[in-house]
Chain A
Amino acid sequence: MAIARFWRENESRYNMQGKKCGVCQKVYFPARDMCPKCRRDSMGMMKKIQLTGKGEVISYSIIHDGLPEFHMQIPYTIAIIELEEGVRITGQIVDCKPDCVDIGSKVESVFRKLGEEGKSGVIHYGYKFKLI
C-alpha cells in the first residue's frame, strides 16, 4: 500500500509547487527545505513558488520497453524539461506522435493519470506535458 506515499506528494504532483532559495534565488522542484548550493545559509529562507508548467525539452527518449504502468501507451516519450523558472523536471510528453518531439520543443503541463494500484486500487494523478 503506497497510498500515503503518493498522497503526501499531491501538492507537488497536482500543482507543481516548488521552492525558491531566498539566498541565491535558485528554484527547486520538488520542494527542498535546503538549497544544495547555499546549504545552511538557506535554512528558513526557502520560499514556496508556483511553477508555470511551461518549458522546453532538454532531452528525450521514446520508450519501447517500458514500465508496466505505461504499457498501454508504448511507445511513449519521456523528457527532461527545463521550466521557465529554470528548474528541470522529468515527465512524459503526451498527445503527439513520438517523432514530433525534439530538443528545444516547447511544452506545457497537463493533468493525467500516472498509474494505479491495480484495477481495484487507488489511482495516482499528476503532471505530464504536451507540445505547445
Chain B
Amino acid sequence: MSVGIVSYGGYVPYYRIEAGSIGAVWGVDGTARGKGLGIIRKSVPSPDEDVITISVEAARKAMKCCKVDPEKIGAMYVGSESHPYAVKPTGTIVAEAIRAAPNLTVADMEFACKAGTAGIQACMGLVSSGMIEYGMAIGADTSQGAPGDALEYSASAGGAAFLIGKKDLVAEINHTLSFTTDTPDFWRREGQMYPRHGGRFTGTPAYFKHINSCAKMLFDKMGTKSEDYDHAIFHQPNGKFPLRVGGAMGFSKEQLEHGLLTPIIGNTYSGAVPLALTNVLDHAKPGDKIFVVSYGSGAGADGFDITVTDNIKKHRKKKWQPLSELMDNFELLDYATYAKFRGKINMGGVT
C-alpha cells in the first residue's frame, strides 16, 4: 500500500543578511567565517512573521497545487522549535487558515531540527492505517542565534508543508525509519530566548553518528547504495556538514546539489530538510529516487526513501511557484535592522 506526498509547498522570508555583515559587528571576518561554514547569507523573518505565518504560507502553497478538499485533511502536525506560543498550538491557526478545521486532529511537534520530518512520519502512519485520508505535516522555524554566537551566522527562518496521502502522489515514500538516542548536543531551556550548544560535541557524537547510523539502516533495509539515488538530502546546520556526511556515503555533489539550501538561506532548523525536499521535488523528474536523512539535536535522525511519480509534471502545471523564486527574491539587511527585526534590541518600556 503506497503512501506519500500529494502536494507540497515551501516558504522562505524575503529578507537576508550576509555573513560579512554579522562578522563586522563582532570584529571578525564574517565573510571568511561564513565561507568556513559554507554560508553566504541567511534568511531573516520580517517582524510580522513567525512560525505560524510561515506555516500558513507553506500550507496554502501546498493546497493551491492540488485539488484536495482541505476538509478531508484529518491531521495537522507542525514541527518547530520556535512555536510562537509555549502553550497554545500553532496548528490550530494553520488549520483554520487553510479551512481544514474543525474535523481533524492537531498537535505541535518539537524535536529540534527534525520535528518537521517527525510530522511526516506521524501522518504516514495515520494515512497508512486508514485512520485519516490526508494529513498535513509542516516543518518551520524562526530560529534564534545569540548575538555573537556561531549560530548567528546560520540560524534563519523558513518552512515547508507536505500533504500526505495515498492518492495522486507526486512522490511515493517507500520507507521511513529513525535512529534515536539521548545526546544533549544542543538545547533551549523553557523561558530562555536563545539556545545553547555543546560546541564541537555537536559534530561526531551527535550529527554524524545519528545521520550515519540512520542512513546505514535505510540502505540496509532498502538494499540500496548511494548510486541508486538521483538526489540526497541531509540536515544542514551549515553548508559543510551535509557535503561531508553525504560525501562519505558516496554521494556526489550533483546528487546533493538541489537538496542543499543552507549556503543561500541559512539553517531553517525544522524547515531545513523539508524545504530542501521541496526544492528537490521542484527539480526532480518522474522516477527520480531521493534519499533523505534529517537530524534533530537531542538527538535523532529520520530517514526516508522516496520515488518521484509522473504526477510531478501535473503539479508544476497548476499554481506552482518554485521555491527558487522565493530564494532568489530578497532584500539584504544591515546588522542594525536585522537586530531590530529579531527583537535583539532592548526597547525599554516601548514594545
Contact = CB atoms under 8 A, between A and B. Distances in A.
Contact of A119 (B48, B60, B99, B351): B351
B340 A72 contact: yes
B331 interface: yes
Contact of B53 (A71, A73, A112): A112
B47 interface: yes
Q: Select the residue from B48, B50, B52, B84 with max chain A CB neighbours within 10 A.
A: B48
Interface residues of B, number: 22
Interface in B31-59: 46-50, 52-53, 56-57
Contacts of B96: 10-11, 14-15
Given A95-B14, A123-B84, A73 B57 contact: no
Given A15-B97, A111-B56, A94 B48 contact: yes
A10 B78 CA distance: 20
Given A10-B96, A15-B99, A110-B57, A125 B52 contact: yes
B48 A123 contact: no
B341 A72 contact: yes
A97 interface: yes
Contacts of B93: 14, 125
A95 B47 CA distance: 11
Contact of A111 (B47, B57, B84): B57
A98 to B, nearest CB: 12
A71 B349 CA distance: 13
Nearest to A13: B97
A73 B49 CA distance: 11
Given A15-B99, A111-B57, A119-B351, 11 more contacts: A14-B93, A68-B350, A71-B350, A73-B48, A94-B46, A97-B331, A110-B53, A113-B53, A123-B50, A123-B84, A125-B93
Interface in A77-107: 94-97
A10 B95 CA distance: 12
Nearest to A11: B96
Interface in B1-47: 14, 46-47
Interface string A49-61: 0000000000000
Contacts of A68: 350
Instruction: Count chain B CB atoms within 10 A of each CB in A10, A11, A72 and give the residue with the most.
Output: A72
Interface string B71-109: 000000000000011000000010011010000000000
What's the dominant secondary structure at chain A's contact region?
Answer: mixed
A123 B142 CA distance: 16
A125 to B, nearest CB: 6
Contacts of A110: 53, 57
A128 interface: yes
Interface in A1-58: 10-11, 14-15
Closest 4 CB pairs of A and B: A72-B47, A95-B14, A111-B56, A112-B48
A20 B50 CA distance: 33
B99 A113 contact: no
Nearest to B56: A111
B180 to A, nearest CB: 32
24 contacts: A10-B96, A14-B93, A15-B97, A15-B99, A72-B47, A72-B341, A73-B47, A94-B14, A94-B46, A95-B14, A96-B331, A97-B331, A111-B53, A111-B57, A111-B60, A111-B97, A112-B53, A113-B47, A113-B52, A114-B48, A123-B84, A123-B85, A125-B56, A128-B48
Interface in B151-169: none
Interface string B198-220: 00000000000000000000000
Given A10-B96, A97-B331, A111-B60, A123 B52 contact: yes
A119 B191 CA distance: 13
A43 to B, nearest CB: 27
Contacts of A95: 14, 46, 331
Contacts of B85: 123
A9 to B, nearest CB: 12
A46 B58 CA distance: 32
Nearest to A109: B60
Residue among A10, A15, A95, A114 having the largest count of chain B Cβ atoms under 10 Å: A95
Contacts of B50: 113, 123
